[in-house]
Amino acid sequence: MNKSIAMFALLTAMAGSAFAQQPPAKPAPAASVADAASVDAVIAALYDTISGPAGKARDWDRLRALFRADGKMIVHGRSKEGVFITRVLSVEDYIARVTPLFAKEGFFESELARRTEQFGQIAHVFSTYESRHAKEEAKPFQRGINSIQLVNDGRRWWVQSLVWQAETDGNPLPERYLGGR
């Protein structure tokens, strides 16, 4: 047998066994037609689902329905020690992480600006955000960028991944990401 064919067969077998070892992802709840009909609708629903006053239960099934079952939420930033770290979360990990915080503190995240690139059934959105503890607060306590990757399966848009990084004194938001939509 040709060495390249043997290598291809070995890699294919290894890939198949790697996939077989992963547990199947739980299917997401059904999204409302309005939430999944367009990239704009998904982004609006994302911000809406995580925002609310302290103690207000969030509609976590709505958030789950926006993401593919294997979708990820990834936060990238500096640790308390000053080193950059990346935390990869499932949607369930994110919900577990923020639920206690949202029980004690209000959290309202809104979009300041957006840059969208789309090719066929994939889209990438750079969404500049600001966060407040109350809607009426004049000054946000945090700003940053959500990098959102979406896919369309021919029926609807899904969030495949969401990566975010907060602005810091040493890493301010560039002007190009603060402009109008």
Count of beta carbons in the 10 Å neighbourhood of residue 63: 23
Cα 28 versus chain centre, distance: 15
CA–CA separation, 70 and 27 (whole Å): 9
Q: pLDDT value at position 32?
A: 80
Q: Which residues fall within 8 angstroms of residue 68, CB to CB, at 6 or more apart?
A: 25, 28, 151, 158, 159, 160
Q: What is the DSSP string of 138-156?
A: SS-SEEEEEEEEEEE-SS-
pTM: 0.81
Q: Please say whether the beta carbons of 128 and 165 come within 8 A.
A: no
Q: pLDDT value at position 28?
A: 59
Q: Please say whether the beta carbons of 128 and 177 come within 8 A.
A: yes
Q: Please say whether the beta carbons of 101 and 126 come within 8 A.
A: no
Q: pLDDT value at position 10?
A: 37
pLDDT in tens, 132-175: 999 999 999 999 999 999 999 999 999 999 999 999 999 999 99
Q: pLDDT value at position 115?
A: 96
DSSP reduced 3-state for 80 = coil
What is the residue-level pLDDT of the chain in tens, covering all 181 positions? 444 444 434 344 444 444 344 444 555 577 787 999 999 999 999 999 999 999 999 999 999 999 999 999 999 998 889 899 999 999 999 999 999 999 999 999 999 999 999 999 999 999 999 999 999 999 999 999 999 999 999 999 999 999 999 999 999 999 999 985 4
| CATH numbers and ranges of domains, the chain | 31-177 (3.10.450.50)
Report how far apart the first and last C-alpha atoms of the chain are (Å, whole number): 57
